[in-house]
Structures are given as structure tokens and as C-alpha cells.
């Protein structure tokens, strides 16, 4: 008999993961929490359990006999959902709370890279508008402004002039666009070249790289749009 798997998330990523699990041959049943209507139209089972309600998810897994859980989104990972599953004796795929800090705080990730001599753009971290603005004025543009925490992919501004950079800082510190995620900013040197992602599955000292991919955040050819 195949496995029963719960996938946590509601986006296209979790939709694709659910399909991949069902095609793999070892899984008989996949449920996505909370999922979305598109998944239901595609024949994927969903359940309306809040990913931030860890106790409810643990009860759901135990009461319905799921073998393991795949956690997709960053927020529940940073909240420590994998740790809570482990404490309840449930196998879960995803980083624990300590490891998820790499995604949850850009400043944490930059400090980690510095400690371990991993090449990264030069940067400074600030928690106030005055000093961050002075840094931009001193170093000029192009320059990159990043809200420290999770901002749903919207927290980075590649500023080609000082005015755009300072407007981004105003957005973060005065308008509080990103809430607590903008309590600090990381300001990086601008690097030229093509950006790509190389993600890997990691288990202790072993890793299995996935195909290289690119994330095209801006509209229109040549990154000309918003």
C-alpha cells in the first residue's frame, strides 16, 4: 500500500509538488492544506487547516493516518512547524526553525556567509532611516535595498539612482510597508550579470542539486517593467 502525504501550502509550487508526488509511484494519496480552488478543479484533495495552526495540523495528520508531511511556504518553516512535527513524532520534509533563519532574515544569511567565507555582495545592515539614507548618499547608485524579513517577494529594490533607493527606504521605515519584516534593511552593492538559482536537497553531508532556474521578477523583456 502506498503512502499518504500532506502538503502544506496554497501556491503553484505546492500544486506542482502534489502532482509530482502522485506520479512518483510510492504515494497513493496527497492532500494539500489549505490548497486553492485550482487544485480542487485539478482533482487534488484539499483541507482548510491553517498552516500557522500547528496543533490543528498535528491532530489532522495523526487522526487521518498520514505518513509524512511536505512543508512548502517559508512562514510556517520560520515559525518552527518542522520542529513541532518532529516533537509529535511526525516525519516532515523541510528545514527546522534554526535552519529556516537563512530564508527568514537576509541579515542572518549575510552574516552566515561572511563567517564561512561564502562569496556575497558587500553590504551593511541598518535599523533606522537616517543612517541608511546617509549610507546611500555616500555610496551612490546603483545600489540594492532589501527588507530584512519575509516580504512575499516584494522586499527588494534594485535602485539605479539615489532617489529610487531613498524612496525605497522611506517605504520601509516611514510607511512601514513590510511591517516587522522591514525593521531592518540590508543595503548591498549592485552586481552585474545574470541571476540564477541552484537549489539542492540536503541531508547532513550529502546533497542532490536540482536543475538551475531563473526567477524573472520584473515585467517585459530586458527587465524594463515594474
Whether 7 and 97 map to the same domain: the answer is yes
Residue 222 confidence (pLDDT) above 80: no
Contact 136/166 with Cβ under 8 angstroms? yes
What's the domain count of the chain? 2
User: What CATH number is attached to the domain comprising 156?
Assistant: 3.30.1490.20
Q: What pLDDT score was predicted for residue 194?
A: 87
- What is the span of the domain harbouring residue 32? 3-102
Whether 11 and 65 map to the same domain: the answer is yes
The pLDDT confidence band at residue 220, using thresholds 50, 70 and 90, is: confident
CA torsion sign for 208, 210, 214, 215 is: negative
Whether 44 and 95 map to the same domain: the answer is yes
Whether 98 and 109 map to the same domain: the answer is no
Residue 204 confidence (pLDDT) above 90: no
Whether 120 and 149 map to the same domain: the answer is yes
The string of pLDDT tens digits covering residues 134-162 is 999 999 999 999 999 999 888 999 999 99
What span, in angstroms and rounded, lies between the C-alpha atoms of 110 and 112? 5
Task: At 75, list the grid cell.
Answer: 512562514
User: What CATH number is attached to the domain comprising 58?
Assistant: 3.40.50.20
The string of pLDDT tens digits covering residues 192-203 is 988 899 999 988
**Residue spans of alpha helices (H) in the chain:** 12-23, 37-41, 54-64, 74-78, 81-87, 97-104, 106-115, 129-139, 162-173
Whether 160 and 98 map to the same domain: the answer is no
Whether 96 and 136 map to the same domain: the answer is no
Q: What pLDDT score was predicted for residue 215?
A: 82
Whether 116 and 70 map to the same domain: the answer is no
Nearest CA to 32 out of 24, 77, 90, 17 is that of 17
Nearest CA to 144 out of 152, 156, 132 is that of 156
Residue 226 confidence (pLDDT) above 90: no
The torsion of the CA quartet 70, 74, 78, 82, rounded to 10 degrees, works out to 0
Please tell me the pTM assigned to this model: 0.87
What span, in angstroms and rounded, lies between the C-alpha atoms of 217 and 65? 39
Whether 7 and 98 map to the same domain: the answer is yes
Q: How far apart are the first and last CA of the chain?
A: 50
Whether 21 and 98 map to the same domain: the answer is yes
The string of pLDDT tens digits covering residues 10-35 is 999 999 999 999 998 899 999 999 99
Whether 122 and 160 map to the same domain: the answer is yes
Amino acid at each position: 500500500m502506498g503512502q499518504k502525504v500532506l502538503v502544506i501550502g496554497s501556491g503553484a509550487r505546492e500544486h506542482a509538488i502534489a502532482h509530482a508526488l502522485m506520479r512518483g509511484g510510492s504515494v497513493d494519496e496527497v492532500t494539500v492544506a489549505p490548497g486553492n480552488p485550482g487544485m480542487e478543479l485539478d482533482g487534488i484533495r484539499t483541507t482548510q487547516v491553517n498552516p500557522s495552526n500547528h496543533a490543528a495540523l498535528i491532530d489532522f495528520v495523526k487522526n487521518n493516518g498520514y505518513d509524512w508531511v511536505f512543508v512548502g511556504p517559508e512562514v510556517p518553516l520560520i515559525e518552527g512547524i518542522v520542529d513541532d512535527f518532529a516533537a509529535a513524532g511526525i516525519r516532515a520534509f523541510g528545514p527546522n526553525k534554526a535552519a529556516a533563519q537563512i530564508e527568514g532574515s537576509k541579515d542572518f544569511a549575510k552574516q552566515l556567509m561572511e563567517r564561512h567565507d561564502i562569496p556575497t555582495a558587500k553590504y551593511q545592515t541598518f535599523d533606522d532611516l537616517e543612517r541608511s539614507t546617509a549610507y546611500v548618499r555616500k555610496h551612490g547608485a546603483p545600489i540594492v535595498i532589501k527588507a530584512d524579513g519575509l516580504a512575499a517577494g516584494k522586499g527588494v529594490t534594485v535602485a539605479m539612482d539615489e532617489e529610487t533607493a531613498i524612496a525605497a527606504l522611506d517605504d520601509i521605515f516611514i510607511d512601514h510597508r513590510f511591517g516587522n519584516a522591514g525593521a531592518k534593511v540590508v543595503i548591498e552593492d549592485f552586481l552585474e550579470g545574470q541571476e540564477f538559482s541552484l537549489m539542492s536537497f540536503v541531508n547532513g553531508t550529502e546533497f542532490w542539486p536540482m536543475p538551475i532556474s531563473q526567477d524573472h521578477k520584473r515585467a517585459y523583456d530586458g527587465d524594463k517593467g515594474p
